[in-house]
Structure 1
Amino acid sequence: MTQTPELRRPLPPPEKSVRRRWFRPGMILLGLLIAAFMILYLPRYLTLDPGQSLIPVNEGFRLHYPLLIAHIATGTIALVTVCLQVSSWLRRRHPRVHRLSGRLYVFAGIGPSAVLSLAVMPFGILTGLSAVGSSLWAVLTLGVTTAGYVAARQRRWADHRRFMLYSFGLATSILTGRALFTGAWYAVAPIFPDSETTVLTIAQFAGFWLNWIVNIAVVAWWLRRSGRKAGLPG
């Protein structure tokens, strides 16, 4: 009897194959970055002390700090669940967990976080260009996340994947934003030593505009690259 390729070269045991897919370097790096971000910033807000807030609290608006806490809490849910959403291992091996985490991501994470960002914006310290950038981030996030959820309900899986990858890029732009803001501040400060306003403006542009623009560009590049590998047009 003629042997098939599977008989000539046995497939690896399921446990070993699954283990390789789960421990992908990209997933490990993403998890470490999110964990580090939470360790650095989240404890300040767990105290519920406005004095510990890294974001200046508007004392003239009593709801500013509660809304800020709600925004950070839902944003934390979004960061945790988005890791589960981009795991191909979880999607294939545990589709029910993938669907549950997806609903948490949309309705308890990124969705309310974006809405609360818009609600807090008029009472925060961001003004001008940085406020527009942050508001546009929230609107785009709501748009692509809603489109991704609707596509899933309609079983348009290719569209669902594309929209949710853009949502992932927008959700994780907080990580990119912190890095770009800090990097821009220290890079520009020596150039404009006598103009803190100029330094702050440039740093805010990097932290509230370039953060999500860079992430969207990376997602678009990834989709185009993966589409070419699969032999898809475009």
Structure 2
Amino acid sequence: MTWLRKPWVGPLAFVVVAFVAFSLPPYLTGDRVQARVQSDWGPHYPLLVVHVVCGAVAILTCVVQIWPWFRGRFPAWHRRIGRVYVWGGVLPSGLAGLVVGWMTPFGPVAAVSNVMLALLWLLFTSLAWRAARRRQFRDHRKWMIRSFVLTVSIITNRIWGVLAFLFLAGSVPEEELPNTIAGISTWTGWVVPLLVSQWWLERRPAQRPAAVEQRETVPV
């Protein structure tokens, strides 16, 4: 079965679905108290809900979008889901994330990281969209890989946060610990995967057979 030739798809889908199932429900209740990030700024909560809900749409759809078997077998659905990823996921979540990220209660280091992440997320996704519209499929794939990396960086952010807590707990004053952990995890959560993805893109052959291009990537 050809879809089994990409063994990373199953584990990735499981992690993403599990993460969304754990993270999303508190933001569907309309109860501000259940939000995992609290702020006294009035518009923070509704923007946070938009960011989280649309971010869930983005992270779920992007797993399907990068699945080579699905792209080649169902090109029309690849286009449709691509539109959902851009217009129902990244765009609203990224725009809300710009504001929510800047208003973070975890200090200026985390705020700058959040804003840069949102800007690059919007930029990479728009460049991927434009490349697909122009049928520049190699460029589309590269920009979508970068967009995907930033989409799932929310998961790696949590991993770095746990590691930072394990290393810093007891050595950093308790009142400074949340901001310190947030500052470390927000930067490493997206910078490290983005650097790894760029290294991976640069080490791959520059040219691929035209038939492979046509099978794996279609205009959105």
Same fold (TM over 0.5): yes
Aligned partner of 1:20 in structure 2 is 4
Identity of aligned residues (%): 33
Who is 1:5 aligned against?
Answer: none
Q: Which residue of 2 aligns with 1:218?
A: 196
What are the ranges of 5 or more consecutive residues in structure 2 without an aligned counterpart? 210-220
* Structure 1 residue identity aligned to 2:85: Y
Alignment partner of 1:128 is 2:108: yes
Q: Give matches, 1:137-156, under 5 Å.
A: 137-156=117-136
Q: 1:102-157 CA deviation, whole Å, 9 max, x = no partner?
A: 11111110121111011223443132111000100011111111111111111111
Among 23, 31, 38, the alignment partner of 1:49 is: 31
Which letter maps to 1:26? Answer: W
Do the aligned residues in 1 keep the contact of 2:17 with 2:60 (CA within 8 Å)? no
Deviations 1:37-62 (A, max 9, x none): 1222212112221111111132x41x
Q: Give the Cα separation in 1 of the matches to 2:126 and 2:197.
A: 18
Structure 1: tracts of 5 or more residues without a match? 1-15
Give TM-score scaled by structure 1 length.
0.83
Q: Give the partner amino acid of 1:221.
A: W
For residue 162 of structure 1, the aligned residue among 142, 146, 170 is: 142
Give the 3-state SS of the residue equivalent to 2:204 in structure 1.
helix
Amino acid of the structure 2 residue aligned with 1:144: F
Give the counterpart letter for 1:108 in structure 2.
G
Q: Which has the higher contact order (CA 8 A, sep 6+)?
A: 2
Indicate the residue corresponding to 1:4 in structure 2.
Answer: none
Q: Distance in 2 between matches of 1:202 and 1:122?
A: 16
5 Å-filtered alignment, 1:61-210, equals 61=42, 63-192=43-172, 195-210=173-188
CA RMSD of aligned residues (A): 1.9
Partner in structure 1 of residue 212 of structure 2? none
Kept after mapping to 2: 8 A contact 1:50/1:57: no
- Give the residue type in structure 2 aligned to 1:98: H
Structure 2 Cα separation of the partners of residues 100 and 45 of structure 1? 26
Separation in 2, partners of 1:176, 1:38: 14
CA 1:65–1:180: 2 relative to 1, 3 Å? same
- CA distance in structure 2 between the partners assigned to 1:154 and 1:124 by the alignment: 38
CA displacement at 1:26 relative to structure 2: 1.0
Q: Does the CA contact (< 8 Å) of 1:145 and 1:167 recur in 2? A: yes
AA matched with 1:165: I
Aligned residues: 209
